[in-house]
Structure 1
Amino acid sequence: MASKPRAGIPLIAETADPASPFPAALIAIEGSLEAELSYAPATAVEDAYRERLASARRRDRAAGRTLEGPHLSDLLVRHAAKDMPAALCSTGEQKALLIGLVLAHARLIARLDGAPPVTLLDEVAAHLDPLRREALYGALDTLGAQAWITAADPASFAELGDRARLFTVSGGGVREFG
């Protein structure tokens, strides 16, 4: 069972695919408006924020920016199995958490829209071991998404075999690889 988010932090989503090498992640958004939402209805929070914005216009104008609002909120990600903030995880675990979140989002979009989204992944296979690369490519196959994946090293695509068309970009042109 996944760990619970910390007190006062609303749980937004949980990714979980027990068969996946990409760990489940607990995610939440933390900020002043989110804190208010823990004890007040959304319409009251919106009204209070609107009033604060109106009364702070001079201050914000002088600062050249809005000094309060959702743009200051933080996305919090926890490695569910380890009950550890992503920021304290290894670089490999962080990448695996992020890939798991991207795949969970793509599955959600496919379920809501009835069609998988076009998925763009830049250098996603870098530093993944062959098992995780194969799992990523398998998850994209299962999703049925059109995926565009970039890599500087063609070996990153070895696990794809004949499941994909490979292209190379150089000298201002694009040509099929191989």
Structure 2
Amino acid sequence: MLNRRNLLASLGPAAGVTLVSPAFAPLAYAQAPAMSRPTAFAFSFLGLDGGSLRLAEHAGKPILIVNTASQCGYTPQYAGLQELWKRYRDKGLLIIGVPSNDFGGQEPGGPAEINKTAHDEYGVSFPLAAKAEVRGAQAHPFYKWAALERPGDGPRWNFHKYLIGRDGRIAAVFSTQVEPTDPKVIAAIEKELQ
């Protein structure tokens, strides 16, 4: 039976494996580079109509990610998000709507129903992701990452807003009650666009 040490020793330098003597292990680990934490640019969303919304393709630019719902009292915020999109997209802002049925079952439909509300009723032209969970064990990986980055600042209802800075970190968080065109949101976006 081959144990791990013998297996690694049998691979040897030809396989790129170097064993560190226990006496030198602290020194070897002290010199090892620290693992960097992932940024938002490590994630992607499936698009509502197919394809992929890869955040890495927008590295160096701010991204506003909002969990949305079609049958919510806050659904009219789609109009404010569209206004932001029209105002700032040519300056580099990306907005992604993430439809979610997590809160009150207010996004029960599929892509056709979501498109009808977002595109037909509110004129949304910014990208929409496929419906996803934004909280709990089955949450989309972006939302799990965001919960670790900003504990206690996760979505509590529909239309929660994360502003990702140009460095890929969370620059600001805005609750459901904060309208997309609120001066605080605009100031945070403009700061990231500088």
Question: What is the TM-score when the length of structure 2 is the normalising length?
Answer: 0.19
Name the structure with the higher strand share.
1
By relative contact order (CA 8 Å, sep 6+), the higher-ranking structure is 2
The normalised TM-score by structure 1 is 0.20
